[in-house]
Amino acid sequence: MSEALLSFEAVAFGYSRQRQVFTDLNYDLEKGSLAVLLGPNGAGKTTLLYMALGWLLPTAGTVCLSRRPLQSYTRGELGRRISLVPQAEHLPYTYSVLEYVQFGRAPHLTLVEMPGQKDHRVAREALARAGISALADAPMDKLSSGERQLAVVARALAQEPEILLLDEPTAHLDLGNQYRLLQTLKELNRAGVTILMTTHDPQIALAISTQTVLVEGNGKVRVGTAEQIITAETLTHLYHLPAGAIEIRPNRSGIWLRQL
């Protein structure tokens, strides 16, 4: 049995009394796993991710990191252990990629420190791991959306996190960029980074997850391997499709919408 790095214990969360997203959420993110949160729009995937970050606080229950409640960590401690790749991050000003990636060093610095030699080196390594070393001096606003997403991943890696959270990282990317990003994530996971990401594309869960978490919008989640979770029945139900709309190829080699 592997060790639970991040655990949700009887967590409830709602944006209002009428809109309860989770009522009894129990889930362990195991160390070294690559977990994919799968579910339709609005089911609560991002909510779960932001609770894992400590940004949203549960209305009941606790979220623990290494068995200690998230709130008991200082801001800096959390920043050194958990990092976030948000969906479509907006940058009000233009930075060079390297300047931007160095922001990831913030939790390792005191309030009055600025990135130094070591931080510079870590930022370069993060660029290399994301496969965009050549873009170090490019301005962020000149990057393609694929390159940009990789730069955001590099910024998150510069935090040297144990857990990497990603919110719909493949949205708005073409097939090639999706593939390169997923490949990067898989390599990071093999190198020991625990990953929790959201997606609404079952294909992605099949392609890279070691664990699939189904967020159905009924206040709970279902956890298993992609093969256990992703069946034609589940998907039909999950996305409110008519019976027979989805066809899953043998050996889970592909999911197809029935030809219309």
Partner 1 sequence: MNDSTLLESKEIAATKHSWIWFALTSGLVLIFLVSLFLGRYPQAGFVQPGQLRENELARLLVFNVRLPRLLTALLLGMVMASAGTVFQMIFANPLVEPGFLGVSQGAAFGAALGIVFLGASSVAVQGLAIIFAFIGLGFSYLLARRMHIGDWLLRLVLAGIAVSALFSAGVGIIKFMADPMRQLPEITFWMLGGLASITWTKFLSILPACLVGLAIMLIFRWRLNLLALEETTAFSLGAAPRRERLLLMTAAVLATAAIISVAGIVSWVGLIMPHIARGLFGSDTRRSLPAAMLLGGIFAILCDDLARLLIIGEIPLGILTSLLGALIFVILMARRRQAVPA
In angstroms, what is the minimal distance from the CB of 194 to partner 1? 15
The answer to the question of residue 136 lying near partner 1 (CB under 8 A) is yes
Nearer to partner 1, 96 or 236 (CB): 96
Longest dimension (CA), the chain: 60
Interface pick for partner 1 out of 2, 17, 67, 114 (rule CB under 8 A): 114
> Using CB atoms within 10 A of its CB, is residue 60 exposed (0-12), middle (13-18) or buried (19+)?
middle
Closest CA to 12 of 49, 48, 36, 55: 48
φ, ψ of residue 64 to 5 degrees: the values are -115, 140
Given a contact cutoff of 8 angstroms between Cβ atoms, the answer to whether 112 and 190 are in contact is: no
Closer to partner 1 by CB, 99 or 125: give it: 99
d(CA 181, CA 87): 14
* CA 175 centroid distance within chain: 19
- Residue 42 CA neighbour count, 13 Å, CB half: 2
Closest CA to 76 of 159, 189, 188, 169: 159
| CB of residue 146 to partner 1, shortest distance in Å | 18
Among 80, 172, 180, 222, binds partner 1 (CB under 8 A): 80
Question: Is 94 or 144 the residue whose CB approaches partner 1 more closely?
Answer: 94
Q: In this structure, what are the phi and psi dihedrals at residue 172, rounded to the nearest 5 degrees?
A: 70, 10
- How many Å apart are CA 149 and CA 257, to the nearest integer? 28
- Contact between 18 and partner 1 by CB under 8 A: the answer reads no
Tell whether residue 50 is a contact of partner 1 (CB under 8 A).
Answer: yes
Q: Does 150 bind partner 1 (CB under 8 A)?
A: no
Judged by CB under 8 A, the stretch of 22-30, 57-65, 104-112, 229-237 that binds partner 1 is 104-112
Stretch that binds partner 1, among 16-24, 62-70, 78-86, 199-207 (CB under 8 A): 78-86
Residue 53 found at the interface with partner 1 (CB under 8 A): yes
Which range touches partner 1 (CB under 8 A), out of 108-116, 179-187, 213-221, 227-235?
108-116
Chain residues that interact with partner 1, rule: CB under 8 A: 50, 53-55, 75-80, 82-84, 86, 89-96, 99, 103-104, 106-107, 111-115, 134, 136-137, 141, 156, 159, 165
